[in-house]
Chains A and B, each alone.
Chain A
Amino acid sequence: QKEVEQNSGPLSVPEGAIASLNCTYSDRVSQSFFWYRQYSGKSPELIMSIYSNGDKEDGRFTAQLNKASQYVSLLIRDSQPSDSATYLCAFKAAGNKLTFGGGTRVLVKP
């Protein structure tokens, strides 16, 4: 079993709709979770970090964490074509190392 599981997609979303991305992880010890966005040919950029169970909102993005279910999700409201990218879920393991999922490709269609 992979440490971080994500649906590879592509997730096709009409412009203005909500994109919902899911991620499950196997490390029960981890306390820090992250969502990164990566455009093709570019390096990842941090969208959101979340440490506590529940929701965390930042602009059009909402991260949800459920440690009991080992599940973290990302909602993108009012999706824009510029949101088309690969979204990487990650958790921080021992030694400050980040373990990444395979990423979900999102396509927002005008």
Chain B
Amino acid sequence: GAVVSQHPSRVICKSGTSVKIECRSLDFQATTMFWYRQFPKQSLMLMATSNEGSKATYEQGVEKDKFLINHASLTLSTLTVTSAHPEDSSFYICSFIAAHTDTQYFGPGTRLTVL
């Protein structure tokens, strides 16, 4: 069964609004989680690494003030897209590496459409 859940699976919002995406690990405690973005017909691009209890590390070119990440517990990380614009429309996917393994588990993804 699924080990990572994301909510919502799909969201449509107006330009200028903020959207929060939740990512939960169901069977594992995740000290590190990852947030990816995937535009149509492109590969996954890592946005940031989320560490429990500390600030997220953002990849070059990703605005930390626009994509707010909170990893407050070992089972929950949230990504908030602030003041979303149409160019933020994308497929957002979280993942984590289970402790003592090398396997990265992906959530089912959230399709964001900004009108």
Contacts and interface: CB of A to CB of B under 8 A. Distances in A.
Tell whether A and B belong to one assembly: yes
Interface of A: 32, 34, 41-46, 49, 88, 92, 95-103
Is chain A's interface secondary structure helix, strand, loop, or mixed overall? mixed
B47 to A, nearest CB: 11
Contacts of B73: none
23 contacts: A34-B104, A41-B91, A41-B111, A42-B108, A43-B93, A43-B106, A43-B107, A44-B106, A45-B106, A46-B105, A49-B103, A95-B49, A96-B32, A96-B104, A97-B34, A97-B46, A97-B49, A98-B34, A98-B104, A100-B43, A100-B44, A101-B43, A102-B42
A34 B97 CA distance: 14
Interface residues of B, number: 20
Contact of A98 (B46, B107, B109, B111): B46
Given A42-B109, A95-B49, A102 B103 contact: no
Contacts of B102: 32, 49, 92
Given A44-B106, A95-B57, 12 more contacts: A34-B104, A42-B108, A42-B109, A43-B106, A43-B108, A43-B109, A45-B106, A46-B104, A88-B44, A98-B104, A99-B46, A100-B43
A44 B36 CA distance: 11
Contacts of B106: 43-45
Given A96-B32, A97-B49, A46 B43 contact: no
